[in-house]
């Protein structure tokens, strides 16, 4: 089953699945990462639209997702927001001209894209030379005990959500041509990170 099919299936209950993490951590991180953005923003993997309320109304936000079920939820949240455009699109094949956006944003998305390197190269292509990539992601830990736990839960999370807990996201960003400016550790030692990088 493809990742899009999995997310279409679980879209009605998706927000319940990680509600404890959302309340404890995620919403605070989202607000801190997104509330100061300006200009044109591309959010890759907009999902159910949890980030939308944190963008300033002065920014022009395009949110894409490859799951129609998730986008339906995002459209409900975007009702009345004039600065939000939501599109069904695959992260590995972005249908935008090069150098279109001031910011590209992902939050807990790079763990689900089948070919993250291909998608990251596409994100770099559509990002302006002066632009910035902002990622809130969970990554493979450098702590051996935590990474062992990630290895153990990876097959279960992949089966349920198409979610990889073992991805080397910082390495993938660099391989895709990004220069990392910040890789802030947020929680569970270095599992959750806020990453800022330039093309």
Strands 127-138 and 192-198: antiparallel
Cα angle at 63 between 124 and 134, to 5 degrees? Answer: 45
Cβ contacts of 9 within 8 Å, gap of 6 or more: 69
In the three-class reduction of DSSP (H, G, I as helix; E, B as strand; rest coil), residue 127 is classed as strand
Q: Which CATH class is domain 3-198?
A: alpha beta
Q: pTM for this one?
A: 0.91
Higher local confidence (pLDDT), 154 or 189: 189
137, 195 contact by CB (below 8 A):
yes
Residues 94-127 have pLDDT tens digits of 999 999 999 999 999 998 999 999 999 999 999 9
Residues 156-169 have pLDDT tens digits of 777 776 677 878 99
Task: Give the number of other CB atoms < 10 A from CB of residue 57.
Answer: 9
Residues 73-92 have pLDDT tens digits of 999 999 989 999 999 999 99
Domain boundaries, the chain: 3-198
């Amino acid at each position: 089953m493809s990742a899009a099919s999995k997310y279409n299936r679980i879209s009605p209950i998706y927000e319940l699945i990680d509600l404890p993490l959302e309340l404890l951590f995620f919403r605070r991180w989202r607000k801190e990462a997104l509330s100061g953005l300006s200009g044109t923003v591309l959010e890759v993997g907009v999902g159910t639209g949890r980030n939308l309320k944190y963008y300033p109304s002065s920014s022009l936000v395009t949110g894409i997702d490859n799951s129609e079920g998730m986008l339906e939820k995002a459209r409900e949240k975007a009702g009345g927001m004039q600065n939000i455009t939501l599109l069904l699109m695959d992260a590995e094949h972005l249908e935008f001209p090069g150098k279109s956006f001031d910011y590209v944003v992902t939050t807990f998305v790079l763990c689900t894209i089948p070919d993250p390197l291909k998608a990251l190269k596409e994100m770099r292509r559509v990002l302006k030379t002066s632009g910035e990539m902002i990622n809130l992601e969970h990554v493979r830990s450098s702590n051996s005990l935590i990474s062992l736990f990630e290895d153990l839960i990876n097959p279960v999370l992949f089966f349920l959500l198409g979610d990889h807990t073992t991805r080397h996201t910082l390495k993938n960003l660099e391989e895709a041509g990004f220069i990392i400016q910040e890789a802030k550790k947020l929680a569970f030692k270095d599992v959750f990170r806020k990453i800022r990088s330039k093309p």
